[in-house]
A = this chain, B = another copy of it.
Amino acid sequence: MMKIVQCVPNFSEGRDLEKVEEIVSVLKNKEGFKLVSYEPDKDYNRTVVTLLGNPNDIIEALIPFTKKCLDLIDMNHQTGEHSRMGAIDVIPFIPIQDTTMDECVEYANTVAKKINEEFSIPIFMYAEAANIKARVKLPNIRKGEFEGMKEKIKLEKWYPDYGNAEIHPTFGVIGVGARIPLIAYNIDLDTENTKRTGFIARTIRFSSGGYRFIQAGPVFLESRGHTQVTMNILDYTKNPIYRVLEAVKMEARRYNINVPSCELVGLIPKTALLKTIKYYFQVEGRDFNEDMSLEEITKYSIEYIGFRDFDKSKIIEANI
């Protein structure tokens, strides 16, 4: 078996599509890994890139990728709905095949060191790659964002893991980490009321008393004219999609708000979808069989979860 990791760099440009194309161009048609997708988002002003393949080839390619972001993005003039602390905001490594979490922590440190040496961009190590407990959770590091980081990084407790106590003046800082597959899952609500959507998000997110492995918040999508509960599911084995989806519907019901659709940013493991399809099959009294094809999984995911802009290529296993 071949070592395969997933790497999901997020960069802070999602509106100027020419720039987006130029940045991702250095990741296209490379030996050793696949550019599975890149998803620019106008409202977030952010693009999520998904790479899958040999860890060393991915690390190699992240250097010219960082150079492009450095040349084309100036954080002093960047705004968007998604919080961010750098032109590349985060670079997480995820073990997929024949790789351990410890190895992913090593890959994360290798690329962090290289980027810092080459471009003098300070790096914070997060999630499984964190060296300090207060840095395990990314929102802790990112609090204050690019603008606040200028002062924050000067505090002793926020001295970066790589680099000095000074942000890069146009790039900011990067969070580099290792983690299990995280699901970036957003639930659309047919309301423009961000306050109510915020209330609903708080009912499911851990920091406000909700589910243990959910980070969530409200976003208004200008381009679509409605809000959504945007979330990270940090452990889908403990907090499956159906559970948060049904919890959101339950809370939305009191405001007479409907849930017309959902979306997924980046990839999802097959088992995460099967877990949710199984729930709806059981509710409807249908026979469930674990061994369904990726095509069937795709079909039932759209039918039961209500994914929009979803196809088979969103499933990790379809890309290996």
By a beta-carbon cutoff of 8 Å, the part of chain A in contact with chain B is 203, 206, 208-213, 235, 238-239, 243, 246-247, 250-251, 253-256, 279, 282-283, 285
Contact B238–A254 (Cβ < 8 Å): no
Smallest CB–CB gap between A288 and chain B, Å?
Answer: 10
Smallest CB–CB gap between A19 and chain B, Å?
Answer: 40
Contact A210–B211 (Cβ < 8 Å): yes
| Residues in chain B near residue A210, CB distance under 8 A | 211-212
Complex Cα gap A304–B146 (Å): 48
Smallest CB–CB gap between A199 and chain B, Å?
Answer: 12
Complex Cα gap A246–B248 (Å): 11
Q: A209-B212, A243-B250, A255-B282 are in contact. List 9 more A-B contacts (CB 8 A).
A: A203-B243, A208-B238, A209-B213, A209-B235, A209-B238, A247-B250, A250-B250, A254-B282, A254-B283
Determine the residue in chain B with the shortest Cβ distance to A243: B203
| Residues in chain B near residue A206, CB distance under 8 A | 212
| Residues in chain B near residue A235, CB distance under 8 A | 209
Determine the residue in chain B with the shortest Cβ distance to A206: B212
Smallest CB–CB gap between A23 and chain B, Å?
Answer: 37
| Residues in chain B near residue A209, CB distance under 8 A | 211-213, 235, 238-239
